[in-house]
Structure 1
C-alpha cells in the first residue's frame, strides 16, 4: 500500500515523473469513482509486518517499564522513552513503518511524562508542603504550575521527536501537550476558570481545528506529509469540540425531550456541513455517540421503547452509508455555497490535471 506522500516522494527522488504520478492518481480516481482528496488517506499500515512489529514493540516497552519501575518509579518512564527513541531510529527513520512509528512516538512521549510524574510521586508529601509554603492561601496555583511544566517538557519532547523523525501524529501530540500547559495555568491562576472549564475545552478544540486547517490549506491536493499532520490534528480537535458543545447542552445530564433531541440532530447536521466543506470526517465520528443517544431518546418518546436502539442504529447507519456513497457530489454542492472560501479548501475536481 502506497500513500499520496509516498508517490510525492517518488516524484521528488526522480523515480516517477510528474506526468506518470498524475496519470497514476487519475487512474485510481477513475477506478474508485472518487478523487484522491476525498479518500482522506493517511498512512497506518504498509503490511501485516506493521502489526507484527507493533506488537513486539509494545511487549518490549512493557518489559522495560516493569524492569525500570522495579529500580525506581521514574526509571520506568525513562527506560520507555530511551528504548522508544532507539527503536524509532531503525523502524521509523530507516524502515519508515507507519503503525510502529505511532506506537514508538506514544511510548516516547508517554515515557517522558511518566518519568516526570514519577519524580513528583517519589515524595508527594514534600511537593504538597512546598506548594503550601509558596502559596499558603492557594497551593493549587503551585500544583497547576508543576503540571504545566510537565506538559511543557512533554511538548518539547514531542518537538524534538518531530525534528528527528517527522512522524505526522507528533504535531497533534505536541499540540495536545500545549493545550495541557495552557489549561493548567488558566485553571490554576484564574479562580473562575474552574466554573467555565468546559468553555476552555471548547476554545482549545476550536484553536486546534484552526491549526489543523492551516496545515490542510498548505496542501490542498493532499499529496504530502502535511495532509497526514492535518488529519491527526483534526482527530485531536474533534472530541474537544463535540464533547464541549454537547455537554454545554446537557445531553447526558438526564433524560432529554424531543426538543433537545432535535437540537442535537441539528447540531450534528451542522457538523456534517463542516465535515463536507473541509473534507474531514473526524467531527462526525467524535459526535456520533451523542446523536445516537439523542435519536434513541427521540424514538423512545415516540413510543418505540423496546426497539429504540434498533431504529437508531438503522437510521444513523443508513445515513452515514449514504453520506459516504455520495460524499463527492454532496461536497460539491456544499463547497459551491462558500464562494471565495472554497479556493482555500481541498478541490472538488474528480481528476488530477496531467500537468500537476
Structure 2
C-alpha cells in the first residue's frame, strides 16, 4: 500500500517520473472512486495512532508548560508573584515546533498536527502578551483598555507571523484559519485601543466589527472552496477550518446585537431566532458547510425551549426541543443532497460555478 507521500518522495528521488506518478494516481482513483455527494470530508485522523500520539503530546506539553512556569516563578519573571510567566508558553511553543518536525513533516499525522499547530500559535501569542505586560509593567496595564488593546494587537500580529512561518514549513490546513484569527485579533485589539476606556460602552461597535470580520473570513473561505469545487485537495480542508472560524464570528454577534441572548425571550424574538436559523440552514446547504448550523444550534435550542415553555409545556420543554431539533437535523443529514440540489439548481449559473459541485466523486477504500 503506497501513500501519496511515498509517490511524491519517489518522484523527488528520481525513481519514477511525475507523469508516471500522476498516471498511477489516476488509475487507482478510477478503480476506487464512487459518487458520494456532499459528504464534506476532511482529514482528521488516519488511525488510532493519531489519538494515541495526540494524548501523549498533550501530556508532554502540559509537563513542559508546568516546568516553564516553575522556572519563571523562580526567576521572578511572572506578571505577579503567583501569576503567569512568558516562559511557560515559550516552552510549549518551542516543544510544539520540535514535535511537528517529526509528526507533521515526516509522519503526516493529521490530529497531532492540528494539536501542535494550535499549541504553537497559542503559545507564541501568550508568550508575546505576557512578555509585553511584564516589559511595560503589570500596573500600567491593569484597567488600561487602550494599552491592553495595543498589547493584544501586537501579540496577535506576532502570533500571525508565527502562523505564517508554520504554514511555510508544514502546510497544515488549519494554519490559515489560525492566521485569519490573528488578523481578526489585531483589528479588534486596535479598535479597543482606539476606544480607550469606552470599550464596555462600545460593546455593540465591537460586536459589529467581529461580525464584519466573520463575513470577511467566510468570503475568504469561499475563495478557497471555489478553487477546489470537487473538494479533492488540501484547499478544501483549509476552507473547512476557515468556515469553522467564521461561523461563530457571524452567528454570535447577530443574535447578541438583536438582543436575543439576554436570558429571556418574547414570542416574536423566539420566532426570529428560528427564522434566522432557517436562513443559516439555507446558506449552509448552498455552500455545503455545516459549521453555520452547529454554531447557531445553542441559540435555536434556547429559543424553542422557551417557546414550548410559554405554550405550557414546562416539564417537557427541554425534551420536546431536543426531539424537534434532533429529528430535524437527522432528516436534513439524510436528505442533505436532495435539499442542497433544490437550493442550488435554481441559482444563477454565475453563482453556481462558485459553489461546490453537486455530484462529486470521492475516493473510498476497498472493503477488507
Check 1:212–1:76 CA distance in 2 against 1; reply closer, same or farther (3 A cut): same
CA–CA distance in structure 2, aligned partners of residues 160 and 256 of structure 1: 46
Match of 1:182 among 175, 184, 187: 187
Contact 1:75–1:115 under 8 Å retained in 2: yes
Shift of 1:127: 5.4
CA–CA distance in structure 2, aligned partners of residues 83 and 311 of structure 1: 48
Contact 1:8–1:224 under 8 Å retained in 2: no
Match of 2:102 among 57, 66, 90: 90
| 1:115 to 2:124 alignment | no
Shift of 1:128: 4.6
Match of 1:316 in 2: 325
Instruction: Please provide the CA RMSD for this pair.
Output: 2.6
Q: Deviation per CA, 1:144-195: give whole Å up to 9, x if none.
A: 2221111000000001001000001111011001100011112211467724
Q: Deviation per CA, 1:45-89: give whole Å up to 9, x if none.
A: 111101110111111111111111211122212211111111100
Q: Unaligned regions of 5+ residues in structure 1, if any?
A: 133-137
Shift of 1:139: 5.5
The DSSP-based 3-state class of the residue aligned with 1:39 is coil
Match of 1:135 in 2: none
Structure with the bigger percentage of helix = 1
CA–CA distance in structure 2, aligned partners of residues 324 and 22 of structure 1: 27
Decide which moves more: 183-192 or 90-99.
183-192
Any residues of structure 2 matched to 1:69-84 within 5 Å, and which? 69-72=69-72, 73-84=85-96
Contact 1:271–1:284 under 8 Å retained in 2: yes
Shift of 1:142: 3.3
Contact 2:125–2:159 under 8 Å retained in 1: yes
CA–CA distance in structure 1, aligned partners of residues 355 and 101 of structure 2: 35
Match of 1:275 in 2: 284
Match of 1:24 in 2: 32
The count of residues paired between Structure 1 and Structure 2 equals 336
CA–CA distance in structure 1, aligned partners of residues 340 and 109 of structure 2: 33
Match of 1:151 among 127, 150, 156: 156
TM-score, length-scaled by structure 2: 0.85
Q: Deviation per CA, 1:212-245: give whole Å up to 9, x if none.
A: 1111111100001100000000000001111111
The DSSP-based 3-state class of the residue aligned with 2:86 is helix
TM-score, length-scaled by structure 1: 0.88
Q: Unaligned regions of 5+ residues in structure 2, if any?
A: 10-17, 73-84, 363-368
| 1:63 to 2:63 alignment | yes
| 1:259 to 2:259 alignment | no
Contact 2:224–2:236 under 8 Å retained in 1: yes
